[in-house]
């Protein structure tokens, strides 16, 4: 039995199947951990979402910002972006079943000293606190009143965590940190504008995983989201978005021994891999 963590799929279903053949994935024995952004921008979001759902307990997926964006658009709270490729899901006969399944996925998964989240964790959050906070958002998404949250999910404020946050402000900042964050200050103030490489951060900011003395540093964080960061494996950090959508690679890491498996991706027409 092996556990493989795989970077952002974003509807790149063909590449996913090629990678699964490479690692000889056996759903009866092995486990897949998917770091979120299952859908959008790639060519086969519907096929990807259906396949992950059908895999049942052999796959653990956390929610990414593109997955949540699908819920916002499906709820009628925002139009699709110009480059979105989710219309096949919105028009599918099993649309409601797929959206219901997606709403019931996790924001954070913790197991065997690994913690998987799409984007990151604020420096003040221990793993235990992050689990509690993730459950708050998961409960809101799974509720029969979930549209009340989904309709107010978008927004950049508040940008700094306080334990006293309540209501939609509290849910939004948890969601933004775990699905959108790249840079923050040592005090946990997030920046959502700059999406480039980590060696040229906005003044006063650092990549979230480089904040000194962050409370989650004793656990290996597995994430995606940041294609400009690329594949990056450190003692307590694994970034797996190696830019498949942009003509990079789709990457898998076997957690038992950290062996890396990759396949080249064609990427979108006219796309260039991050350099």
Extents of the domains making up the chain: 3-264
- Fold annotation for 3-264: Purple Acid Phosphatase; chain A, domain 2 (3.60.21)
Residue 42 · residue 11 · CB < 8 Å = yes
The pLDDT assigned to 223 comes to: 98
Q: What is the mean pLDDT of residues 83-102?
A: 97
Beta bridge partners of 29: none
pLDDT at 10 over 80: yes
pLDDT in tens, 212-271: 999 999 999 999 999 999 999 999 999 999 999 999 999 999 999 999 999 999 887 766
pLDDT in tens, 39-84: 999 999 999 999 999 999 999 999 999 999 999 999 999 999 999 9
Side-chain half-sphere exposure of 172, counting CA atoms within 13 A: 19
The pLDDT assigned to 270 comes to: 61
The reported pTM is: 0.96
Per-residue burial over 74-107, b = 16 or more CB atoms within 10 Å of its CB, e = otherwise: beeeeebeeebbbebbbebeeeeebbebbbebbb
pLDDT in tens, 120-167: 999 999 999 999 999 999 999 999 999 999 999 999 999 999 999 999
pLDDT in tens, 168-196: 999 999 999 999 999 999 999 999 999 88
pLDDT at 272 over 60: no
The pLDDT assigned to 271 comes to: 63
Confidence of residue 274 (pLDDT cuts 50, 70, 90): very low
The region, left, alpha or beta by phi > 0 then psi within -120 to 50, assigned to residue 22 is alpha
pLDDT at 11 over 80: yes
Vertex 40 angle, CA 125 and 20, to 5°: 85
pLDDT at 275 over 50: no
Residue with tokens 């920046």: 191
């Amino acid at each position: 039995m092996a556990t493989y963590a795989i970077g952002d799929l974003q509807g790149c279903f063909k590449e996913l199947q090629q990678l699964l053949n490479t690692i000889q994935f056996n759903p009866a024995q092995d486990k897949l951990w998917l770091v979120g952004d299952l859908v959008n921008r790639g060519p086969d979001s519907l096929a990807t979402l259906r396949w992950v759902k059908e895999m049942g307990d052999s796959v653990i997926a956390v929610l990414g910002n593109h997955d949540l964006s699908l819920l916002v658009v499906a709820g009628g709270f925002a139009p699709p972006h110009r480059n979105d490729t989710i219309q096949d899901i919105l028009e599918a006969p099993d649309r409601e079943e797929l959206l219901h399944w997606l709403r019931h996925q996790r924001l954070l998964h913790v197991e065997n000293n690994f913690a998987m989240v799409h984007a990151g964790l604020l420096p003040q959050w221990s793993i235990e606190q992050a689990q509690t906070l993730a459950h708050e958002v998961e409960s809101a998404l799974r509720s029969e009143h979930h549209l009340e949250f989904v309709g107010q999910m978008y927004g950049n404020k508040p940008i700094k965590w306080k334990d006293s946050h309540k209501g939609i402000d509290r849910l939004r900042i948890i969601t933004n940190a775990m699905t959108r964050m790249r840079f923050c200050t040592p005090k946990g103030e997030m920046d959502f504008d700059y999406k480039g490489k980590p060696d040229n951060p906005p003044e006063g900011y650092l990549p979230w995983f480089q904040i000194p003395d962050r409370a989650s540093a004793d656990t290996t964080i597995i994430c995606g989201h940041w294609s400009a960061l690329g594949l990056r494996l450190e003692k307590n950090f694994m970034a797996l978005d190696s830019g498949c959508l942009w003509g990079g690679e789709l990457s898998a890491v076997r957690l038992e021994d950290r062996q890396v498996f990759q396949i080249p991706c064609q990427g979108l027409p006219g796309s260039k891999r991050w350099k």
